[in-house]
């Protein structure tokens, strides 16, 4: 799309929206509007079809059972896969991230097929649940400041050759594989374990999604002092002894 408008879809708020993930939709919407971009936001419940013609899709985290239901419905619906084939930008958090991969372990302890939009596979971690603050450095190709966020997951995610780590952790678990990676991305599809909500804590990621969707090399700067103060506080908290 090249006119000055953006279609934003928040996928399955009734099943996948834990730890403030709704904030991600609010932040994308607000930051686009602050640049004079008209936003049409559609919240698509799990009993509704996912429209394939939007520009940005957000999908959040969830408990194990809603995660299985969401995966079943998204596979059956096919709309998110069609959107990805159309080149839409998709940003996913935690359970949503696992669903975008090839498979994950569901609440019945069975392998559940994902959508295959990211070359990752999630298994159930044998160690303690990954819970707490995370600090990382985002893939330098994306040109973004350090990532801060909060994670809460049992699943761990292994990247295949078609997915790049979204970030490298300085603190916290991220993908939970012990290799220091956090999240995954290919050119249009992104996954992270960061709640936070992640776009409220890292608004430059919201701007990245908007730029990619609008095919815009840059966006006008905004007053981000509040966000930067929060980032500095989280970096200090993560890097200083308690």
Of the candidates 138, 77, 135, 125, which has an alpha carbon nearest to the alpha carbon of residue 98? 125
Return the residue nearest ligand GLN (CB atom): 61
Helices 203-214 and 22-33 pack at an angle, to 10 degrees, of: 60
Least distance (Å) between residue 156 CB and ligand GLN? 8
The CA-atom distances, in angstroms, between 205 and each of 122, 147, 192 are: 23, 9, 11
Counting residues that bind ligand GLN (by CB under 6 A) gives: 12
Of the candidates 219, 207, 214, which has an alpha carbon nearest to the alpha carbon of residue 4? 214
Residue 17 CA to residue 240 CA, distance in Å, equals: 31
162-191 residues in contact with ligand GLN (CB under 6 A) are: none
Least distance (Å) between residue 57 CB and ligand GLN? 17
Q: Check residue 203 for interaction with ligand GLN (CB under 6 A).
A: no
Q: Is residue 141 a known part of a binding site?
A: no
- Opening angle at CA 176, ends 80 and 19, nearest 5: 60
DSSP bridge partners of 130: 153
Q: Which is nearer to ligand GLN, 55 or 151 (CB)?
A: 151
Among 52, 59, 90, 95, binds ligand GLN (CB under 6 A): 95
Q: Check residue 155 for interaction with ligand GLN (CB under 6 A).
A: yes
Q: Could you say which of 102, 153, 158, 195 is catalytic?
A: 195
Of the candidates 59, 71, 182, 97, which has an alpha carbon nearest to the alpha carbon of residue 132? 182
Residue 237 CA to residue 146 CA, distance in Å, equals: 14
**94 counts as catalytic:** yes
Among 39-47, 138-146, 151-159, 211-219, the segment contacting ligand GLN (CB under 6 A): 151-159
**195 counts as catalytic:** yes
Q: How many CB atoms lie within 10 A of CB 96?
A: 28
Least distance (Å) between residue 54 CB and ligand GLN? 22
Among 24-32, 138-146, 152-160, 202-210, the segment contacting ligand GLN (CB under 6 A): 152-160
Sheet with 120-124: strands ordered across: 111-113, 103-105, 120-124, 155-159
Q: Check residue 64 for interaction with ligand GLN (CB under 6 A).
A: yes
> What is the contact surface with ligand GLN in residues (CB under 6 A)?
18, 61-64, 67, 94-95, 152-155
Binding site: which residues? 129
Binding residues for substrate: 129
What residues act catalytically? 94, 195
């Amino acid at each position: 799309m090249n006119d000055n408008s953006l279609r934003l879809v928040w996928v399955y708020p009734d099943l996948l929206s834990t730890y403030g993930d709704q904030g991600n939709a609010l932040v994308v919407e607000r930051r686009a509007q602050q640049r004079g971009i008209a936003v049409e936001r559609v919240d698509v419940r799990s009993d509704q079809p996912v429209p394939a013609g939007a520009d940005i899709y957000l999908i959040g985290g969830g408990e194990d059972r809603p995660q299985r239901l969401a995966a079943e419905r998204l596979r059956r619906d096919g709309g998110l896969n069609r959107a990805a084939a159309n080149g839409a930008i998709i940003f996913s958090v935690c359970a949503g991230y696992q669903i975008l991969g090839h498979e994950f372990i569901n609440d019945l302890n069975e392998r559940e097929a994902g959508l295959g939009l990211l070359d990752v596979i999630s298994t159930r971690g044998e160690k303690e649940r990954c819970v707490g603050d995370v600090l990382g450095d985002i893939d330098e190709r994306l040109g973004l400041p350090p990532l801060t966020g909060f994670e809460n997951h049992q699943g761990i995610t292994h990247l295949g050759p078609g997915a790049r780590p979204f970030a490298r952790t300085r603190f916290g678990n991220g993908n939970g594989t012990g290799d220091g990676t956090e999240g995954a991305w290919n050119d249009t599809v992104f996954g992270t374990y960061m709640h936070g909500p992640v776009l409220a804590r890292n608004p430059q990621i919201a701007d990245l999604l908007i730029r990619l969707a609008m095919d815009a090399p840059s966006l006008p700067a905004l007053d981000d002092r509040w966000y930067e103060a929060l980032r500095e506080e989280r970096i200090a908290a993560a890097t200083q002894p308690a």
